[in-house]
Amino acid sequence: MAQLICSNLKLGYEGRTVIEDINFSVNRGDYLCIVGENGSGKSTLMKSVLKLHPILSGSIETGDGLKFNKIGYLPQQSETQKDFPAVVKEIVLSGCLNHCNKHFFYTKHDKQRMADTLKKLGIENLANRSFMELSGGQQQRVLLARALCATTEMLLLDEPTAALDPKAAAELYELIKDLNEKEKITVLMISHNIDSALKYASHILHIGTNQKFFGKTEDYLKSEVGKIFAKKAEGV
């Protein structure tokens, strides 16, 4: 059974439709990249999956044991986030909040999970550093570690490499690929970098006003919408 099933979704604001007729499903271990023109509703879709934004109609369901509170989320980075006055280990540990239930303190298990995640992402040396003093690439690794503390099953990533230099972006893409392949974590990523989407993704969801596609990456490359969008991205 699929981990996530979105059926006949219509999304928008205050009754105004932004995108409709969205249908796709995600299985455990998939790497789905969500692509499309600016303003096509990609971030709205991701927030709707997380129940941060109401849907106008249709349904979003989980399966295969996945629960909505066990999905890790890395939103687009804002200027406010960059200047967040906290040390790294506090930020990463906050990813365990969904697991705290009725107790008000982090458990020994939560703290060990935080330490293990920092080590997994190669940033254990940053544990006591101030978040606002880190480079953009380091900050994104910290926020990814926070998302990982919330899940061992599914990550939702909204433009995780935006504003990073090419080297830091490439390193983050490789890190996400390893989490998908080695840790078997399902990945849903919004990306404007079509080259990286096509390189890493097992599946593509293309959303737009008049053009939509959902399927395997190799089939997307053969489709009319895939050919057109790839040429636009290349500036052809």
Sort strands 16-26 and 4-13 into parallel, antiparallel or unpaired.
antiparallel
Please state the separation of Cα 104 from the chain's center in Å.
28
Neighbours of 43 (CB within 10 A): 16
On whether the CB atoms of residues 19 and 175 are closer than 8 A, the answer is no
Q: How high is the pLDDT of residue 128?
A: 95
- From first to last of its 236 residues, what are the pLDDT tens digits of the chain? 799 999 999 998 877 888 899 999 999 999 999 998 888 889 999 999 999 999 999 999 999 889 888 899 998 876 656 667 789 999 999 998 866 555 567 888 889 999 999 999 999 999 999 999 999 889 999 999 999 998 889 999 999 988 788 898 999 999 999 999 999 999 999 988 888 888 999 999 999 867 789 999 999 999 988 888 777 666 54
Cα–Cα distance for residue pair 51/63, rounded to 1 Å? 16
What residues have CB less than 8 Å from 11, skipping those under 6 apart? 17, 18, 19, 20, 22, 41, 44, 45, 48, 53, 55, 56
Q: How high is the pLDDT of residue 174?
A: 93
Q: How high is the pLDDT of residue 229?
A: 78
